[in-house]
Amino acid sequence: AVQNLNLTANDNLTDCTDEQVDFNALESLVGSMVNDTEPDVFFIRAPGLSAEFVFGTDGLPKLLTHQDISIVFSGGNFTVKTTNGFTYNFNSQELAGKSTQQGCNLQDINTECRYYTSNVNYVSQWKLSSITSVVTGTVANFHYAGNGEEIKSRRYLTIDSTRHIETRISMPLRISSITLKSFTANFSWSNNLLSKVTVTESGTADKIECQLVYSSVSDQPVYPFLPINKSVLTGVLLSNNSPFSMYRLEYASMPTVAWRKNWQMDFFGYFNAVSSNKNDPTLYFYTNESDGRRLRVTPIPGGSPVIETGSDRTVNVLENQAGALQKIIMPGGGFVSVTYESNTYWDATTNQELNGAGVRVKKLVMQGGEVAFGKSIDNVNPYRSIVKEYEYKLADNKSSGVLLAPVKLGYILASGIKKSAYNLGDEPDVMYTRVTEKITGQGKRIYEYNIPGVFPETTNGDWKATKSRIARKLSTPCIVVGSIKNGFYTFPFAPSTNYNHKRGFLNRVSEYSETGVLIRERLMTYTELTSNPLLIKGLKFEKIGEIYHYGIYEMLTGRVQVISQEIVKEASEESPSLWLQTTTDYTYNNNMVREVKTTMPDNSIVTKRIKYAKDFQFTNPSTDTMAVALKKLNDQFRHAVVVEEINMVKLPGLTETLGSTLLIYRNFGGDRVLPYYIRSLPVGAALTEAYVSSQNFVADTDYRQIKTFKEYDSESRLLTEVDFRKNRVGYHYTLNTSAQVAVLANAAAQQAIYEGLETTTSFGLTPSGTGITYPAGWTGKKGIQFTNGTAMLVSSSLPSNMVQKGGNIYRASCWIYAQNDRKVIFTVKQGASSITVELFNTQTNVWTYLEKDINISSITGPFTLEVKTNASGSLPVILDDIVFIPRDARISFQTLMPLTGITSTTDDRGFSNVMAYDEAKRPDYVMDRNRNVVSKSEYSTKVNPPPCVLTAQFTKSPAAITLNTPITFGANQSCGTNLTFKWEVDGIVQTSTSSTMIFTFATPGAHNVKLTVADGQFGTETFTETICVGVQLSMQVHDLFGNIVNPETQSFDCNSYNIPLTYTVNGLGSFASQVEILWYTRVYDPIRNEYQLVKITTQGGAPIEGLDAQGNVNKGVVALTTFYSTTTTYVARVRYVSQSNQFGCLPYTQDTFVTITYLNNSNCN
Question: Would you state the pLDDT for residue 371?
Answer: 47
Whether 151 has a pLDDT exceeding 50, the answer reads yes
CA 1141, 1144, 1147, 1152: dihedral to nearest 10 degrees? Answer: -110
Q: What is the mean pLDDT of the chain?
A: 88
Spatial CB neighbours of 998, under 8 Å, sequence gap ≥ 6: 966, 967, 968, 969, 992
* φ and ψ of 1069, to 5 deg: 60, -135
Question: Would you state the pLDDT for residue 1143?
Answer: 47
CB 178 within 8 A of CB 129: no
Question: Would you state the pLDDT for residue 737?
Answer: 92
SS3 748: coil
Render pLDDT for 667-684 as a digit per residue (tens, 0 to 9): 999 899 999 999 999 887
> What count of other Cβ atoms lies within 10 Å of the Cβ of residue 387?
16
Segment among 546-550, 739-743, 962-966 with least mean pLDDT = 962-966
Residue from 1147, 1025, 1154 nearest 150 by CA: 1147
Which of the two residues, 1145 and 799, has the higher pLDDT score?
A: 799
Whether 434 has a pLDDT exceeding 70, the answer reads yes
* φ and ψ of 26, to 5 deg: -70, -40
| Average pLDDT estimate for 702-715 | 94
> What count of other Cβ atoms lies within 10 Å of the Cβ of residue 203?
17
Question: Would you state the pLDDT for residue 1149?
Answer: 65
CB 1077 within 8 A of CB 1085: no
Question: Would you state the pLDDT for residue 1077?
Answer: 74
Render pLDDT for 489-536 as a digit per residue (tens, 0 to 9): 999 999 999 999 999 999 999 999 999 999 999 999 999 999 999 999
Question: Would you state the pLDDT for residue 922?
Answer: 86
Confidence of residue 1109 (pLDDT cuts 50, 70, 90): very low
Whether 35 has a pLDDT exceeding 80, the answer reads yes
User: Bridge partners of 609?
Assistant: 595, 646
Question: Would you state the pLDDT for residue 169?
Answer: 86
Q: Where are the beta strands (DSSP E) in 937-1089?
A: 954-957, 966-971, 979-985, 988-989, 996-1000, 1005-1015, 1019-1029, 1034-1038, 1051-1052, 1060-1066, 1075-1085
Return d(Cα 699, Cα 660) in angstroms, integer: 11
Spatial CB neighbours of 503, under 8 Å, sequence gap ≥ 6: 431, 450, 451, 452, 453
Residue from 925, 852, 840, 935 nearest 887 by CA: 852
Name all domains of the chain by residue range, CATH numbers in brackets: 610-716 (no CATH), 730-906 (2.60.120.260), 911-939 (no CATH), 954-1029 (2.60.40.10), 1034-1158 (2.60.40)
Residue from 95, 87, 89 nearest 77 by CA: 89
Residue type, 327: K
How many residues appear in the chain? 1165
Segment among 329-338, 493-502, 869-878, 982-991 with least mean pLDDT = 329-338
Confidence of residue 1054 (pLDDT cuts 50, 70, 90): low
Whether 557 has a pLDDT exceeding 80, the answer reads yes
Render pLDDT for 880-936 as a digit per residue (tens, 0 to 9): 999 999 999 999 999 999 999 999 999 988 889 999 998 888 899 999 988 999 999
Return d(Cα 538, Cα 37) in angstroms, integer: 6
Return d(Cα 164, Cα 162) in angstroms, integer: 6
Whether 457 has a pLDDT exceeding 50, the answer reads yes
Whether 1163 has a pLDDT exceeding 60, the answer reads no
Whether 1073 has a pLDDT exceeding 70, the answer reads no
Whether 1081 has a pLDDT exceeding 80, the answer reads no
Question: Would you state the pLDDT for residue 779?
Answer: 93
Confidence of residue 1110 (pLDDT cuts 50, 70, 90): very low
Question: Would you state the pLDDT for residue 908?
Answer: 86
| Average pLDDT estimate for 220-242 | 74
**Alpha-carbon distance values, 656 to 604, 605, 660, 662, 682 (Å):** 11, 11, 11, 18, 11
Give DSSP secondary structure letters for 789-802. SS-EEE---SGGGS
Whether 79 has a pLDDT exceeding 50, the answer reads yes
Confidence of residue 1127 (pLDDT cuts 50, 70, 90): low
Question: Would you state the pLDDT for residue 550?
Answer: 98
Render pLDDT for 402-413 as a digit per residue (tens, 0 to 9): 999 999 999 999
Give DSSP secondary structure letters for 916-948. EE-TTS-EEEEE-TT--EEEE---TT--SSPP-
Confidence of residue 305 (pLDDT cuts 50, 70, 90): very high
Whether 540 has a pLDDT exceeding 90, the answer reads yes
Confidence of residue 372 (pLDDT cuts 50, 70, 90): very low
Question: Would you state the pLDDT for residue 1058?
Answer: 52
Whether 1119 has a pLDDT exceeding 70, the answer reads no
SS3 633: helix
| Average pLDDT estimate for 209-233 | 79
- Provide, rounded to the nearest whole percent, the portion of the chain with pLDDT above 70: 88
Whether 1093 has a pLDDT exceeding 80, the answer reads no
| Average pLDDT estimate for 1133-1150 | 57
